[in-house]
Amino acid sequence: MDALLSNAWVVIPLRILIVVGFVLTAVPALVWIERRALAMMQVRKGPNRVGPAGLLQPVADGIKLFFKEDVVPEKVDRFIYFLAPAGFLIPVLCAPAVIPWGPNDRLTPIADINIGILFLLAMTSLTVYGIVLAGWSSNNKYSLLGGLRASAQTISYELAMGLSIISVVLFSGSLSMRDMVLNQQGSLGLLDWHVFRLFPLGLIATGIFLIAMLAETNRAPFDLPEAETELIAGYHTEYSSMKFAMFFMGEYASMVTISAVMVTLFFGGWLSPLPFAPFTWIPGPLWFLIKLGVFIYLFVWVRATLPRLRYDMLMKLGWLRLLPTALVNLFLVAAIIWWQK
């Protein structure tokens, strides 16, 4: 077993299988969780016909999408129209390559590169191309508006996100995701996590990352690119069948990815919140999944709670509130770390 795991030709496909397989199987589960949780919060039943408690509903949806007619509007830019869904899904699936899911460095991450967090930022910033190109190539004014909104929104919130990540880089002194998790290990358990570092500065950075993460994944209350009430369905109005399913999968997969980043950067990755006996028996990957679940539930919760922002409010929040807060926060973190040395 040990010899097998040190063979690169075995272990790297295995790692890819674990990470991509997990993200892709999480998508239908997530769809079910979201629909049931939303139904619960809105005091209705939600899908409960297919399978026990509607568990097989995502499977039925998948089969439906597979066998639907694939309508291609007449005046689309065909090459880019076909390229866009793949351009959205591929970076989303590449991003988790650097996230460590457990303490065993043989199995995850796929590559523990020393610029891990930069790779992640690069990949998450690339997802916008799929949306912009889908909006442009559809030759539909609502789609185009959705694409325009997506590009402006992503650029605006990436800055705040990057600045809050830099404070984590300052805490841990490394860009490798594994080092960041190991840096949060300590005798105090969850008080050693980056959220509670230099209280309340770490907490502010976490809050900024949380808002920016909602905006980067185009989820409510920042789902302006697909706002149903104004833009029909925004950038994917003209997409049907499996091409629509790829956008759909991409959105949920990016929720999983960005929640995993959140857990890794601020909430101690696979570390247990309390570093003594009954809690340390639970294996690391399970802790990771529990924390991941909390943040995914948060996504759904926020969607059920907050109304969509108006476009100018979105820009004002990004540029006039988040960015200055993040800059001041980063300055304070840097000053205190410098002073402590």
Partner 1 sequence: MFEQILFAIMALVIVVTSIGVVAVRNPVRSALNLVANFFALAVLYVLLYAQFVAAVQIIVYAGAIMVLFLFTIMLLNLGSPSELAERSDIKRPITWGLALLFVIVLAGGVFIRLGEAKPAGDDIGTVQMVGKHLFTDWVYPFELTSVLLLIAIVGAIVMAKRRL
Where along the sequence are the contacts to partner 1 (CB under 8 A)? Answer: 77, 80, 113-115, 118-119, 121-122, 125-126, 128-129, 132-133, 135-136, 144, 147-148, 151-152, 154-155, 158, 175
CB of residue 58 vs partner 1: minimum separation in angstroms? 32
Q: Burial of 102 by CB count in 10 Å (0-12 exposed, 13-18 middle, 19+ buried)?
A: buried
Amino acid at site 138: S
* C-beta closer to partner 1: residue 38 or 152: 152
* C-beta closer to partner 1: residue 87 or 268: 87
CB of residue 235 vs partner 1: minimum separation in angstroms? 12
Q: Which among 160, 303, 305, 132 has a CA at the least distance from the CA of 225?
A: 132
- H-helix or E-strand containing 214? helix 201-216
CB of residue 274 vs partner 1: minimum separation in angstroms? 34
* C-beta closer to partner 1: residue 77 or 297: 77
* C-beta closer to partner 1: residue 298 or 337: 337
Please check whether residue 225 is in contact with residue 131, taking contact to mean a CB–CB distance below 8 angstroms. Answer: yes
* C-beta closer to partner 1: residue 151 or 185: 151
CB of residue 151 vs partner 1: minimum separation in angstroms? 5
Distance CA 228, CA 234 (A): 7
Distance CA 148, CA 138 (A): 13
Q: Which among 288, 294, 275, 264 has a CA at the least distance from the CA of 190?
A: 275
* C-beta closer to partner 1: residue 122 or 328: 122
* C-beta closer to partner 1: residue 27 or 117: 117
* C-beta closer to partner 1: residue 143 or 272: 143
CB of residue 160 vs partner 1: minimum separation in angstroms? 14
CB of residue 185 vs partner 1: minimum separation in angstroms? 22
CB of residue 63 vs partner 1: minimum separation in angstroms? 34
Distance CA 23, CA 115 (A): 22
Residue 162 C-alpha from the chain's centroid? 14
Distance CA 221, CA 211 (A): 10
* C-beta closer to partner 1: residue 3 or 8: 8
CB of residue 159 vs partner 1: minimum separation in angstroms? 9
Q: Which among 282, 261, 260, 258 has a CA at the least distance from the CA of 272?
A: 282
CB of residue 92 vs partner 1: minimum separation in angstroms? 14
Residue 195 C-alpha from the chain's centroid? 18
